[in-house]
Amino acid sequence: MQKLRFLAQKEFRHILRDPRSLVIVVVMPIMMTFLYGYAISLDVDNIVIGVIDYDRTDESQQLIDRFYNSAYFSKPDVNSESTDPETWLLSSEAKAVMIIKPGFAGSLRERSDFSLGMIVDGSDNTVAAAVQNYASAVVSKYALDQIPVGRDIPGITISTQVLYNPDLESSHFFVPGLVAIILMMISALLTSITIAREKETGTMEQLLTAPVTPVQIIIGKILPYVGLALLDGILVLVFAKIVFGVPFVGSYLLLLAFGLIYVSAALSIGILISSLVKTQQVAMMFALVTTLLPSVMLSGLVFAIRNMPPVLQGLAQIVPAKYFVTVIRGIMLKGAGLGTLALNGLALLLLMAFLMTVAARKFNTRID
Amino acid sequence: MSFVSVQGLGKSYRGVRAVNDFTFDVRQGEVYALVGPDGAGKSTVIRTLCGLIDSDTGEASINGFDCRKQFNHIKPILGYMPQVFSLYPDLTVTENLAFYGGIYGVVGPEYLERVEYLYRFSNLKPFADRRAQALSGGMKQKLALSCALMHQPKILILDEPTTGVDPLSRRQFWEILLQLKEEGVTIIVSTPYMDEVARADRACFVFRGEKLAEGKPAELPGLFEGTLYYFDGPPTMETIDRLNRLGDIRARRFGGGVHVYLKRGITLDEVTPALSEMGFDIKDFNPIKPDLEDCFIQLMEES
């Protein structure tokens, strides 16, 4: 235990004295949250929306003006006279098309229920989610303004049809997933670099001849990073809550438990990488390609896995981030409990056990 | 029984032989030097002893424990100083010492006592809070040695500890080593410097992975065969080249002159006509006693 303390203490000093690792640990997570968070909110401004107006009344024209005068929506560049909404979406001239059926003005006057049609391009799921929210806001504001105070408000609903990606997911789904990326980065990237550094500078030679076991060396080295990873996870969550208002519905403790499993898997990958390479540079490249890239691309964070070609779908099954992204989204946004997450948790646990075994076996006490 | 035993050690890297059938023994309390040029295989032998390399053939043991299978028993009595500077450059002198103390289990009052002792002979105390990267080459080596000595090892293995260190620091370093020998520490040290060999109890010439010769530094020059001559003339490249062109002669620069030795079985009389023909005055060639380096070079060239 005492030896572990010395190893961990030394590692902390390395981190504190190396500006590069400080940047990765502190600045990167905040930067990433900012970038990803704002990239989303930028996307949902000025959504190009086409309108097919079958009503052709003053009221329908007013509604259309309301849409285009809002900050959320803008007109398509080409004023297409097409009456087929899909041609707009396919050509990407518009992200969504609103259809005002005949009788809009009439039902507004009679205060009867009316249903507006909305066809949304689901291939860009963050935009698609925003379209629905913003459109209903614009429509209900318009309806409110048309009716004198005290009167019943007509029930204008928007019946949305999403094309290309029917199971639409909320944009809030993005930031929790970011935690998965950052944990993976801190854990795998930094541990592989720090172990590779000991090999590169030759200090590993002396460590291996000292009366410490390889397990002690590894645990002593990774303990500070487990702490840092958890700290970073909290940092991003707090940041996400304050800046982007991402909710946290579920159990913190459950997330912590899954987080530890996930971090252990990530650390094992880091150790595995470091035992395969000899220099920090190669370790970094290796880590980026094998952890960060799949975690972003194949975890379902950005692209839905079920829309991928079969080969990539298969590959995604061995990406720890895939399970953790599902788990953290479930806990944070839906308040999912252990019961609903059991399958993902089990997969994560198995993956971790496998990676740990391989990493421990591969860790070399010889230097050639 | 010897304290360190290496028997028939062999090791190849991707088909290139680094060490071949290497055998030696070191007695307890002895200072044993492995001498040879870069790439001779010294590091491979040392790393095998330190459990860092698995040899292809042969066995190595320290204090009766096998360096491959029972290395855990060797760790507590072994101090190792690798060839490359093996400390943490971003940690201070004290932090490095405390870290090695920690992993060797030297803590508390025992550590404080030990550090004082190590500071006494290394003279590093004034630099206690300086980061290791800001130390001079000689100081770095003394710090590395201090770390390796933290747990009072019975055997100290040093891989070229004085390479790239200034002559004064080299001498100081060796004085520390000899002091440790007085305390009963067994020392195995590799070096490319012939002048350091004289301070060892026994030395072993290593070349191309083979042991060329072994013995006490005073006795090793006796292995030189034939007669050595000192040519008292300017040791220019041209002179040396001309001498070497005579197939029976080997010449090499030595200080302000040239050491010339004749191949086995050749006498000076036999080469005198050829030398005279080339314009050399035979009176400039005076027989001298060979030193360690002459001996090593003869062995190297005949191997």
CB of A278 within 8 Å of a chain B CB? The answer is no
Per-residue pLDDT band at A125 (split at 50, 70, 90): low
Residue of B nearest to A15 (CA): B90
Do residue A203 and residue B78 have CB atoms under 8 angstroms apart? no
CA distance A72 to chain B (A): 53
Identify the H or E element spanning A257.
helix A252-276
If one counts every other C-beta atom within 10 angstroms of the C-beta of residue A246, the result is 23
Pairing verdict, β B210-215 and B202-207: antiparallel
Output the six-digit token pair for A123.
Answer: 């291939």
Nearest CB partner across the interface for A2, out of B13, B107, B148: B107
Q: Are A359 and A268 in contact (CB under 8 A)?
A: yes
CA distance B77 to B155: 6
Residue A170 to residues A95, A240, A242, Cα–Cα distance (Å): 16, 15, 18
Is residue A310 situated within a structural domain? yes
Residue owning tokens 């930031």: A175
In the DSSP assignment, the letter for residue B160 is: S
Domains of chain B: 26-47+71-218 (3.40.50.300), 224-302 (3.30.70)
CA–CA separation, B153 vs B74, rounded Å? Answer: 10
B103 chain-A contacts, CB cut-off 8 A = 3, 6-7, 207, 210-212
Q: Which of A114, A144, A163 is the last residue of a domain?
A: A163
* Residue A235 domain-assigned (yes or no): yes
The whole-angstrom separation of Cα A275 and Cα A254 is 32
Show residues of chain A in contact with B141, CB under 8 Å: none
> Structural domain of residue A26, as residue ranges?
2-40+171-362
Residues A234 and A273 both lie in one domain: yes
Among residues 138-177 of chain B, which lie with CB inside 8 Å of chain A?
Answer: 147-148, 151
Residues of chain B found within 8 Å of residue A13, distances taken between Cβ atoms: 90-91, 95
Q: How many interface pairs between A and B have CB atoms less than 8 angstroms apart?
A: 86
Q: Are residues A329 and A236 in the same domain?
A: yes
- Whether A171 shows a pLDDT value over 50: the answer reads no
Are B52 and A17 a contacting pair at CB < 8 A?
no
Domain edge (last residue) among A163, A187, A204: A163
Smallest Cα distance from A361 to chain B, Å: 17
Q: A65 and A11: one domain? A: no
Same domain, A99 and A244: no
Nearest CA of chain A to the CA of B119: how many Å? Answer: 21
- Considering the domain architecture, whether residues A204 and A326 belong to the same structural domain is answered as yes
Q: Is A367 on the interface with B (CB under 8 A)?
A: yes
Same domain as A199, residue A345:
yes
> Residue A168: what are its φ and ψ, rounded to 5°?
-80, 140
Section A94-102 average pLDDT: 84
What pLDDT, on the 0 to 100 scale, is given for residue B148? 92
CB atoms within 10 A of CB B112: 12
Given a cut of 60, whether residue A41 has pLDDT beyond it is no
A198 plus A152 within the same structural domain: no
Residue A344 is assigned to a structural domain of this protein: yes
Interface of B with A in 57-116 (CB under 8 A): 72, 75-76, 78, 80-91, 95, 98-105, 107
CATH code for the domain in which residue A142 is found: 3.40.1710.10
CB B150 within 8 A of CB B179: no
Highest mean pLDDT among A33-37, A113-117, B124-128: B124-128
Does residue B42 contact residue B159 with C-beta atoms inside 8 Å? yes
The whole-angstrom separation of Cα A217 and Cα A221 is: 6
Is residue A368 assigned to a domain?
no
pLDDT in tens, chain B (303 residues): 689 999 999 999 888 889 999 999 999 999 999 999 888 899 999 999 999 999 999 999 999 999 999 999 999 999 999 988 888 999 999 999 999 999 999 999 999 999 999 998 888 999 999 999 999 888 999 999 999 999 999 999 999 998 888 888 899 899 999 999 999 999 999 999 888 898 999 999 999 999 998 999 888 888 888 788 888 877 788 888 888 887 778 888 877 788 888 777 777 788 888 888 888 888 888 888 888 888 888 888 777
Q: How many residues does chain A have?
A: 368
* Sole residue written with tokens 């799921």: A125
Q: Give domain status of residue A367, yes or no.
A: no
Domain count across chain A: 2
Res A124: pLDDT: 62
Q: Is A35 in the same domain as A178?
A: yes
Q: Is residue A14 part of a domain?
A: yes
Reported ipTM: the value is 0.82
> What are the structure tokens assigned to B26, written together?
């070191």
Chain A partners of B88 at a C-beta cutoff of 8 Å? 10, 14, 203
- Residue at which a domain ends, from A109, A129, A163: A163
- On whether residue A158 sits in a domain, the answer given is yes
> Mapping DSSP to helix (H, G, I), strand (E, B) and coil, where does residue A308 land?
coil
Question: Residue A16 corresponds to which tokens in the numbers above?
Answer: 């504190």
- Examine residue A128 and state whether it is found in any structural domain, yes or no: yes
Q: Cβ–Cβ contacts within 10 Å for residue A317, how many? A: 12
Does residue A114 share a domain with residue A11? no
A308 and A262 within one domain: yes
pLDDT tens digits for A182-240? 889 888 888 898 899 998 888 888 899 999 888 888 889 888 988 888 888 888 888 87
A206 and A326 belong to one structural domain: yes
Instruction: Indicate whether A198 and A116 sit together in one domain.
Output: no
One-character DSSP codes across B80-143: EE-SS--S-TTSBHHHHHHHHHHHTT--HHHHHHHHHHHHHHH--GGGTTSBGGGS-HHHHHHH
Report the residue from B52, B54, B76 with minimal CB separation from A208. Answer: B52
Do B91 and A206 make contact, defined as CB atoms within 8 angstroms?
no
In 3D space, the residue among B154, B140, B294 whose CA is nearest the CA of residue B226 turns out to be B294
Task: Provide φ and ψ at B222, rounded to 5°.
Answer: -65, -15
Q: Residues of A numbered 199-218 whose beta carbons fall under 8 angstroms of chain B's beta carbons: which are they?
A: 201-203, 205-212
